[in-house]
């Protein structure tokens, strides 16, 4: 079994956001919300070492600054709101995907033969999640991972993600807006208010 680690932010600061101190335990989810432009995505990008920032992020006892950026991002994996696809076929991106996960997300293994150009935004969103978890990261940063999905598919993806978060022991930061979703998935709910990160009411324990 792989060792599970917490994800810890120490005085992390980016843009106008005041420094953030936060620890997410293995297998737990913290939801992050805030108005458009408040800095949610930038905060995730700072944790993923994709933007210059103050402070430090730790995965267990490993500091972000101690690793080359590509190694850190392989461990602390960001799934952005708009996924990036660099090859023509889906299968070229999902060489390590498990058939059970493909089916759990509402596809058959035939999706591996599809061209990326034929995918809808919702299909891209689900497959980008699958691509991320098939690389076996140690922590996940999810930027509105169900924004392009209908209610039924959203619940399906939530159930799939929650099972894997528990099984793999990933600490997760999940940007979300829907209060009902936050209540379903989050251990804690933090909201960016002005230039500060503030604790909201306690959600469900995952």
| DSSP code string of 49-111 | T-S--EEEEEETTEEGGGS-HHHHHHHEEEE-SS----SSBGGGT-TT--HHHHHHTT--GGG
Q: DSSP letters along 118-130, please?
A: G--HHHHHHHHHH
Number of domains in the chain: 1
Q: Whole-prediction pTM value?
A: 0.93
pLDDT for residue 206: 34
pLDDT for residue 205: 34
Token output for 22:
């936060």
pLDDT for residue 204: 36
The whole-number average pLDDT for the span 65-86 is 95
Residue 39: give its domain's CATH number.
3.40.50.300
pLDDT digits (tens, 9 = 90+) for 111-140: 999 999 999 999 999 999 999 999 999 999
Within a domain: 126: no
Which residue segment(s) compose the domain that 77 sits in? 7-84+138-199
pLDDT for residue 187: 79
pLDDT digits (tens, 9 = 90+) for 147-204: 999 999 999 999 999 999 999 999 999 999 999 999 999 979 999 988 888 988 643 3
Q: pLDDT over 70 for what percent of the chain?
A: 96
Within a domain: 92: no
């Amino acid at each position: 079994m792989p060792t599970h680690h917490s994800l810890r932010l120490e005085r992390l600061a980016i843009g106008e956001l005041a420094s953030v101190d936060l620890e997410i335990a293995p297998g737990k989810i913290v939801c992050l919300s805030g108005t458009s432009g408040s800095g949610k995505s930038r905060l995730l990008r700072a944790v993923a070492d994709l933007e210059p920032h103050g402070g430090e992020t730790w995965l267990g006892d490993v500091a972000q600054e101690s690793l080359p950026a590509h190694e850190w991002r392989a461990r602390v994996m960001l799934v952005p709101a708009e996924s990036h696809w660099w090859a023509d076929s889906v299968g070229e991106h999902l060489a390590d995907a498990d058939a059970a996960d493909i089916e759990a997300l509402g596809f058959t293994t035939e999706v591996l033969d599809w061209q990326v150009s034929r995918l809808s935004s919702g299909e891209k969103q689900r497959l980008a999640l699958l691509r991320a978890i098939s690389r076996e990261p140690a922590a996940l940063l999810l930027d509105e991972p169900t924004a392009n999905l209908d209610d039924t598919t959203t619940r399906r993806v939530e159930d799939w993600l929650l099972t894997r978060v528990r099984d793999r022991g990933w600490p997760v930061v999940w940007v979300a807006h829907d209060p009902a979703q936050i209540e379903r998935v989050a251990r804690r709910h933090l909201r960016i208010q002005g230039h500060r990160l503030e604790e909201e009411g306690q959600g469900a324990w995952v």
